[in-house]
Amino acid sequence: ESESRGFGTLSSKALLLKTVLVLLVLSGVKTARATDLLPTQFGAWSARDSKRFPAGTTVTRERTILAEYGATGTEQKTYGRAGQTLAVTLTQFKDPSGAFGAFTYFRGPRPAPAGIGDHSAAEGSRILFLVGNLLIEVRGLPAEVRELPPLAESLRRVADRRPFPQLHNRLPEKGLESGSECYLLGPMALGRFVSLGAGDWIGFEMGAEAEVAEYRRASDHATLLIIEYPTPQIAHNKLAEISRWFRVNPKEGVGKGVLLYAKRNGSLLGLVTESSSAAYAQELLDAIRYEVKVTWSERKTKLEEPSITE
């Protein structure tokens, strides 16, 4: 009887161990499939090979920029069809905001719409498009390709489709150089567009997000940087700090050093650099869309930004 109980106990332990191993194996298979976001086939294109690169080892010379935007990994697939090949690179980000920023950074200065959703750009045989928190680069097809929407549709099922940032909607429209807009989440990307100093001088570590764009009108030109902070107080303190580092809104011909024009309204701070004139800089700052309106389904409500003095 004792041996029988012992044998029964051993069998139960073996069965439990076997069950745990099976669950672990199944869990591993599920995880592997979950990370394989690119489909094995779309349209007439079939995948021939696939590679994955975890965060920090992405196959790009801009890996530090991708890390700043929150990239978590990259996947590559080569597709084939009737003697043709197509290279597709997918980079996944922590959230849609990071993916959106990387899209604006990598799309190029003169992008042409590729017709794949609201956020796509074409340049020769290279197409870049955005699906939620996924950034997809396709190489090997002409810009007028019509076969990529099915690929985008398949990725929508697995993408994080929370809203994209809307800071670009605050940019003035008049004089805007199309394609120059870039959404920024860190100092390295900022340094490509605004060379005023190394490091995080605008306060990304404090929760800031920024949008930069180029403006031109006849002989006038300038770079506009819009920064949004979590609170008006942080924006107020940061403007005071920046005013100690740079020559901000000086009187004509007074002072030395880098010249900046600035205007704050609530938690929003506008900065203009490399402006052709003080008048043009002020015109851009005044044209920033500072007002915020939010409409609820239950009732209509108008929310005003806090006073510039707060």
Cα-based angle 193, 195, 199 (whole degrees, multiple of 5): 105
Q: Which residue has the tokens 């009887």?
A: 1
Length of the chain measured in residues: 310
The answer to whether residues 70 and 94 touch, using CB atoms and an 8 Å cutoff, is: yes
CA 47 to chain centre: 27
Phi-psi domain of 15 (left: phi exceeds 0; alpha: psi -120 through 50; beta: other): alpha
* pLDDT at 194 > cutoff 70: yes
Higher-pLDDT residue of 11, 120: 120
Per-residue confidence (pLDDT) for residue 34, from 0 to 100: 45
Give dist(CA 214, CA 60) in Å, integer.
26
> DSSP assignment, residue 144?
T
Q: Give 267's Cβ-side CA count (13 Å radius).
A: 16
CA 200 to chain centre: 18
Give tens-digit pLDDT for 100-110: 999 999 997 77
The token pair that represents 174 in the structure block: 């008049």
* pLDDT at 211 > cutoff 90: yes
Give dist(CA 156, CA 158) in Å, integer.
5
The token pair that represents 63 in the structure block: 């890996």
85 contact partners, CB below 8 Å, separation of at least 6: 48, 78, 79, 140
Q: Of the candidates 47, 144, 55, which has an alpha carbon nearest to the alpha carbon of residue 88?
A: 47
The answer to whether residues 294 and 301 touch, using CB atoms and an 8 Å cutoff, is: yes
> DSSP assignment, residue 176?
B
Higher-pLDDT residue of 192, 52: 192
Q: What pTM did the predictor assign?
A: 0.79
Higher-pLDDT residue of 97, 297: 97
Give dist(CA 215, CA 144) in Å, integer.
29
12 contact partners, CB below 8 Å, separation of at least 6: none
Would you state the torsion angle of the CA atoms of residues 38, 41, 42, 43, taken in this order, to the nearest 10 degrees?
Answer: 170
Give tens-digit pLDDT for 125-179: 889 999 999 999 999 876 556 788 989 999 999 999 999 999 999 999 999 999 9
Give dist(CA 23, CA 20) in Å, integer.
5
71 burial level (CB within 10 Å; 0-12, 13-18, 19+) = buried
Rg of the chain (C-alpha set): 26
Q: How far is CA 92 from CA 36, 116, 167, 276, in A?
A: 11, 18, 22, 40
In this structure, of 52-61, 201-210, 279-288, the range with the lowest mean pLDDT score is 52-61
Q: Of the candidates 122, 179, 175, 128, which has an alpha carbon nearest to the alpha carbon of residue 151?
A: 128
